[in-house]
Structure 1
């Protein structure tokens, strides 16, 4: 990796170079014209200051004024060098500072002092020491580190670094250090050297068998009494605090007993049903009152847990195979908050469940739940409704992707926040959806939590950093882009995720889960989720995003990881092929410009030639809550296109998705050209941007009918819902495979409906993305046109030999 800095130099620039151990003998600065590619030259130091060597560059004399120049410290005739290449662009008088092993270039004098900042156990007999700057092995050895604790002192027998210069060094203390994991966690170990002392974080010691528990965790209460159990490794004391109300008031205290391995328990003969609780935790020299991560109902993300009895068992929801799924992604508030939704309990669980709603000005126009049923979708992917960080009394909008209490429904959608309304009303919503034949798919965010910036809501207050991925310097990995990563591979982190998911299935009857940033969930945990949930509910639907939002050390789910594992992943390949990259508006896709034809064809085959073992391992989609809506993206990118052409592009994109092999996914409101007024990230924008505009359904009712017909066609014809790669390869054949001609960018293929058990014995699909009609030949025989740019044909017409496919249109013909 090369680093660059714009410096300000007209005639001369001074480059200051600091080495860790002060060994400057023989070091020079190699400089070259990186802009014009001219040969380099060596510069000898002009002197030395408190920072290190000083090199003076006469830019004018060297012809480098205003140019990009490369700099690289070297020793002698390349006996050694300190990479990577660094670059400066000289403009005005300035000094540049570089440090050994540090890629960055500093425009100001950086701190000179090397500090020892953090230490943690990284193995049974090793400790990782972290510094504020890269160091080398010799420097670490010079520190004379000693590990002290449990009445003994140990010296490292080995020192190793992951690279020549690194801010972290591993100190191995050999077989002489044989302290058990419990001692490493509960004992006070310090690592001391010339740069000072640091308490040693338990680190890897917490993953040892003594800290793995399979018994009860959480709180339960009944007429037989109450019990509490919490995982709080390293805590000095834990107390269950029992309150009469949701706020204020005095509390009863149950001192919990440490049972070993970080497990704390307490019990009482008293029935605490209807009371509230938190845990008081003393650890790391401080005290905090935090929520139980296992709490099934909370008053707020930073409130109190409610001690409650069990919910009635859930009724049996709809059961159908994955290939019959039509997913509809919706936010609870978005569905009903519009003033014309006709819903009484707008923005709430109960409003989501309301039936019989109509637009106040158009009595025949169905809204909300009735609309989704009319559209024909049968699986609702609902954005997060596990408790998330927000002010539940504030109407300010939030998608819900900063989770706090994973086992409690979010109170923002409940009629009250200080009692058990959130549980009862969530259950009522799910029951209402099941009664309409719709599965409920929860959007879940087990990849990170809202415990960022030192906040302690539950996990961190009880267990310190145990549940989070930590860097060697004690900072948090942030592959989520939200401040931390939940350590799914940790024994108790993995158990928590599994326990939580099972709870939503058994208590609420949830039918599936969509995993946010599944790239941050380790592969073993992902496989266990699929295996254990499918054992609990064979028809469960599991899928997720096979990517991360930043660098992470975890080997998580990516496209291909799902092969044969029982879960599916989103196909961003087909998404971006259809409309262009979500990150670049100027990148035109298949529907705007006929680009990416090959990628679209692979998507039509259910990604079995890319990353999937079978079509049901891929979710086909063209838009979701992230990035622009489909209409906004087309409107912004298809310059010069008429309104009618843009509507055709919208229809064509979804027609490809819903006739492709795989599981189709639809973002709510696309069926009436949903717009967020060009906003691409509406996670905290007001209702005016995020709401479903029910008047738009009337305005674009023809588009709605097209979507309704498209879904109905897919559901009625199994040829569009093939189950295995073998079926796809046998029954779906592009014209090119049959020796039939089609001029790109058009796509044409046939489906063997008879082999798939379809009433349409042979199906031909023709796709024309260009803005002119395309004349496409037909296979031998007579073909009935059953689906066109308006939807299902009321009076199918017969065609032979060829057909003219209208601009930006998908046609379906049958025999």
Structure 2
């Protein structure tokens, strides 16, 4: 900042903390600062020593002299966003001062030739900490040791660190610092087990402008007291933390991503509304072990072909009181209110901050199970493991939704090493583009924190996969480091085959890291070739229509009426615009059906990577297993709700079911991982809520009993995220024809199960490699609103020589020509031929014309049998 006139000395301007920190100490020898290079520069420290720089002003501060320099290629690679700064080189005589300097206040200052102070700013220190303490990357942290526990904390800038133990009395224990690593540690006694503990860290805080003492939990801790107030010293592998049979846990067979069908589920949703589960177990881990309606349905889904349950965040998060007695639930008779009323959302909003529901994307302790899902927060380790075991017994592997890109606040990490773990903007403020304080896994020990936490969940809890929230805010190198660490786990040594653990995430590109501004990101295009998958939003938008942030939610897509059933909304444009959009959407869906391959050539002759998707490439993967294909998820409206907005209101419930299944079929019959939001197979609705993260149990109901409906008509969705859509929502919610009964829900579930069994019946839907997809998969025909997918399976499938899928999204029967080999005969897939739906059973092949006839709003699958 510029210095006011009349300054007496440098100390006058740095008594407190500067309001910004725009200088970056990137390694022990280099500072980057947007400052005039012709000035004289130094780092001002908080203890007394004569300045080494001959031109530095006199005073009682210590100084590290800086001289103009240049960035080398490696520095520019590691710090691309600092390329335009002035490079300042630390005087070699002062490099030895760095470690001690970082344990106090450090300020960058510049003055002109006349000795007038020109600028002063705080200093960002992650780079120099990584340089000085690189040896810390392999030192054990957290709790280690057997009978005599050892506790270790990385706190290189701390003046002192003490362990505080709680129990019958509070005791404080000195910890010893290793100067080479910056790690503080203490060896304890067997009697320490079971006691709560914290670390008392005395450290300079730039925010406070002084040395403070922070009492903090252990970021590597594995157990905490309710609501995360303190860590608990425990042996997680002790018998008390293991459900019966845990050490002999038998897992379902591993499934690679190209064969996976992933069912996204929220722990509380699973049983909160399930009357077949005892009241005291509803909404908890323990509900998965009950032979209730939900568990029976999971077993049925696994038998049909679902391979993984993806659990929304189950680590310790901040926004639900963990003791049931501390929660306050809505006290209104919500079911008695009109279906289009504002009163339901008003009632839910009054207790949203203290009720039992939140999605959980607000991490507090990344390596501790969430306590509100346990019947007793102190039993969270045992009950979490019991849930994993129950899901495995049901035939399902378990994926955790992990959120390492941000924290709820900075209370756990920043007080330990202020200014290190969170990503800072140019002025030193914490980046919040992810919604909350953003973590910085590009920093050595923050990246290690991610790796260690993931490995812990895999080893201690037998988790079979991880979905990274906002993975594009991670460096690609960090996610690859996770992959390498998992791959090193073995059954003999670790009890888990790390190579069978699947990884995928959100590869969105936005915020302060966008476009590789700070590092090579783990975004969609950059993860191609790694074997780590990303969500492909191409299929979602093309099937549903429009985008998730449209002001008018009625923009139609392939699965919502754009193919011949317009809803009359001006948002859809005129007939020419609609035809062009439909043609483009069909190509996007074809790309999705290949597993979003970058180098697949479409029937139009356009390569997938050259087809536009919102300014980027439609196709981007190097292998089909690198795409997670979906049409709905916990974010945005459910598929049923999206179709409620987009299909003409007069559309019959039978046709809504058909369009729901057609939309889901684009996912289930595509190459790559198929991803389905829990309840979509049952027409699940959230009463048009587009962001139900804090909408309580009422709007998030997952109803296993069809007599209770599907959740539609539960009232106008919460005002905060939906009010602009209320004019569109109100007449729909009030329409009783849009509330499905058991016949519709059962038909949707039956059709979904048939699609799953078809996917599992043939390797045609899991070709595995880009070469196989290019060689075997084609898209014959070009009728508007109809997509035909043809896969040659000779030499691959012992039963069938080909598989052909026709997606007819139009309201009329369609005739589709398909390639037929000499002597080959086609027939409706056995699953559909014996299926529940007489309309699908009417699909037919005419050998005389070699054409398929497919009824309106129908997905039909035909299999080819070779001659003889």
TM range (shorter): 0.7 to 0.9
Q: How does 1:557-636 map to 2 (within 5 A)?
A: 557-580=522-545, 581-584=547-550, 585-592=553-560, 593-594=562-563, 595=582, 596-609=585-598, 610-636=619-645
Q: Does residue 327 of the first structure (1) align with residue 336 of the second (2)?
A: no
| Cα drift, residue 732 of structure 1 | 1.1
Matched-pair contact (CA < 8 Å) for 1:765–1:811: yes
**Structure 1 755/579 Cα, relative in aligned 2: closer, same or farther at 3 Å?**
farther
Other structure's SS at 1:506 match: helix
Aligned match of 2:405: 447
Q: Does residue 747 of the first structure (1) align with residue 787 of the second (2)?
A: yes
Other structure's SS at 2:192 match: coil
| Counterpart Cα distance in 2 of 1:202 and 1:116 | 13
Aligned counterpart in structure 2 of residue 478 of structure 1, from 432, 456, 472 = 432
| Cα drift, residue 209 of structure 1 | 4.6
Report which structure shows greater RCO (CA 8 Å, sep ≥6). 2
| Cα drift, residue 153 of structure 1 | 4.0
**Structure 1 748/397 Cα, relative in aligned 2: closer, same or farther at 3 Å?**
same
Q: How does 1:76-91 map to 2 (within 5 A)?
A: none
| Cα drift, residue 401 of structure 1 | 0.5
Aligned counterpart in structure 1 of residue 273 of structure 2, from 338, 353, 376 = 338
| Counterpart Cα distance in 1 of 2:322 and 2:519 | 34
| Counterpart Cα distance in 1 of 2:19 and 2:357 | 44
| Counterpart Cα distance in 2 of 1:604 and 1:314 | 39
Q: Does residue 218 of the first structure (1) align with residue 218 of the second (2)?
A: no
Matched-pair contact (CA < 8 Å) for 1:314–1:506: no
Matched-pair contact (CA < 8 Å) for 1:747–1:766: yes
Other structure's SS at 1:532 match: helix
Other structure's SS at 1:296 match: coil
**Structure 1 177/746 Cα, relative in aligned 2: closer, same or farther at 3 Å?**
same
Q: Does residue 186 of the first structure (1) align with residue 103 of the second (2)?
A: yes
**Structure 1 367/342 Cα, relative in aligned 2: closer, same or farther at 3 Å?**
farther
Aligned counterpart in structure 1 of residue 418 of structure 2, from 459, 464, 474 = 464
Q: How does 1:365-376 map to 2 (within 5 A)?
A: 369-370=298-299, 372-373=301-302, 376=305
**Structure 1 141/116 Cα, relative in aligned 2: closer, same or farther at 3 Å?**
farther
Aligned counterpart in structure 2 of residue 807 of structure 1, from 851, 856, 859 = 856
| Counterpart Cα distance in 2 of 1:368 and 1:309 | 35
| Counterpart Cα distance in 2 of 1:270 and 1:253 | 16
| Cα drift, residue 433 of structure 1 | 1.1
| Cα drift, residue 219 of structure 1 | 1.9
| Counterpart Cα distance in 1 of 2:126 and 2:439 | 15
Aligned CA-pair RMSD: 3.1
| Cα drift, residue 647 of structure 1 | 2.2
| Cα drift, residue 587 of structure 1 | 3.2
Matched-pair contact (CA < 8 Å) for 2:405–2:470: yes
Q: Does residue 429 of the first structure (1) align with residue 390 of the second (2)?
A: no
Matched-pair contact (CA < 8 Å) for 2:228–2:365: no
Output one character per residue of 1:296-347: Cα deviation in whole Å (capped at 9) or x when no partner.
Answer: 1112444111211232546242223313321100000001101545455100
**Structure 1 796/576 Cα, relative in aligned 2: closer, same or farther at 3 Å?**
closer
Q: Does residue 785 of the first structure (1) align with residue 828 of the second (2)?
A: yes
Matched-pair contact (CA < 8 Å) for 2:299–2:395: no
**Structure 1 229/169 Cα, relative in aligned 2: closer, same or farther at 3 Å?**
same
TM-score with structure 1 length normalisation? 0.77
| Cα drift, residue 146 of structure 1 | 3.6
Q: Does residue 663 of the first structure (1) align with residue 624 of the second (2)?
A: no
Aligned match of 2:479: 526
Aligned match of 2:616: none
**Structure 1 758/520 Cα, relative in aligned 2: closer, same or farther at 3 Å?**
farther
| Counterpart Cα distance in 2 of 1:518 and 1:166 | 25
Matched-pair contact (CA < 8 Å) for 2:842–2:855: no
Q: Does residue 234 of the first structure (1) align with residue 157 of the second (2)?
A: yes
Output one character per residue of 1:23-60: Cα deviation in whole Å (capped at 9) or x when no partner.
Answer: xxxxxxxxxxxxxxxxxxxxxxxxxxxxxxxxxxxxxx
Q: How does 1:61-460 map to 2 (within 5 A)?
A: 119-129=23-33, 137=36, 145-149=41-45, 151=49, 152-154=51-53, 155-158=65-68, 171-173=88-90, 175=92, 177-179=94-96, 181-186=98-103, 188-193=105-110, 194=117, 200-213=123-136, 214-220=138-144, 222=146, 224-244=147-167, 250-260=169-179, 261-284=181-204, 285-311=211-237, 313=247, 315-322=249-256, 323-342=258-277, 344=279, 345-355=281-291, 357-358=292-293, 369-370=298-299, 372-373=301-302, 376-390=305-319, 391-393=321-323, 394=327, 395-417=355-377, 419=378, 421-451=379-409, 455-456=410-411, 458-460=412-414
**Structure 1 512/714 Cα, relative in aligned 2: closer, same or farther at 3 Å?**
same
Matched-pair contact (CA < 8 Å) for 1:447–1:486: yes
Larger strand percent: 1
| Cα drift, residue 805 of structure 1 | 1.7
| Cα drift, residue 528 of structure 1 | 1.5
Name the count of aligned residue pairs: 673
| Counterpart Cα distance in 2 of 1:383 and 1:307 | 27
| Cα drift, residue 118 of structure 1 | 5.2
Aligned match of 1:497: 450
| Cα drift, residue 570 of structure 1 | 0.8
Deviates more, 1:302-311 or 1:406-415: 302-311
Larger helix percent: 2
**Structure 1 307/117 Cα, relative in aligned 2: closer, same or farther at 3 Å?**
closer
| Cα drift, residue 169 of structure 1 | 5.9
Deviates more, 1:675-684 or 1:744-753: 744-753
Other structure's SS at 1:772 match: coil
Matched-pair contact (CA < 8 Å) for 1:221–1:273: no
Task: Give the unaligned 5+ runs of structure 1.
Answer: 1-19, 23-113, 131-135, 360-365, 736-740
| Cα drift, residue 123 of structure 1 | 3.6
TM-score with structure 2 length normalisation? 0.72
| Counterpart Cα distance in 2 of 1:681 and 1:328 | 19
Aligned match of 1:637: 646
**Structure 1 600/196 Cα, relative in aligned 2: closer, same or farther at 3 Å?**
closer
Q: Does residue 676 of the first structure (1) align with residue 686 of the second (2)?
A: yes
Aligned match of 1:45: none
Deviates more, 1:746-755 or 1:798-807: 798-807
Other structure's SS at 1:289 match: strand
Deviates more, 1:752-761 or 1:375-384: 752-761
Output one character per residue of 1:537-590: Cα deviation in whole Å (capped at 9) or x when no partner.
Answer: 121111001114523234311112222223111111111111122222243221
| Counterpart Cα distance in 1 of 2:314 and 2:826 | 48
Matched-pair contact (CA < 8 Å) for 1:384–1:443: yes
Other structure's SS at 2:458 match: helix
**Structure 1 120/559 Cα, relative in aligned 2: closer, same or farther at 3 Å?**
closer
| Counterpart Cα distance in 2 of 1:573 and 1:797 | 31
Task: Give the unaligned 5+ runs of structure 2.
Answer: 5-17, 54-64, 72-78, 111-116, 205-210, 328-354, 490-497, 564-581, 599-618, 711-741
| Counterpart Cα distance in 2 of 1:587 and 1:180 | 62
Other structure's SS at 2:197 match: strand
**Structure 1 437/550 Cα, relative in aligned 2: closer, same or farther at 3 Å?**
same
Output one character per residue of 1:43-84: Cα deviation in whole Å (capped at 9) or x when no partner.
Answer: xxxxxxxxxxxxxxxxxxxxxxxxxxxxxxxxxxxxxxxxxx
Matched-pair contact (CA < 8 Å) for 2:21–2:123: no
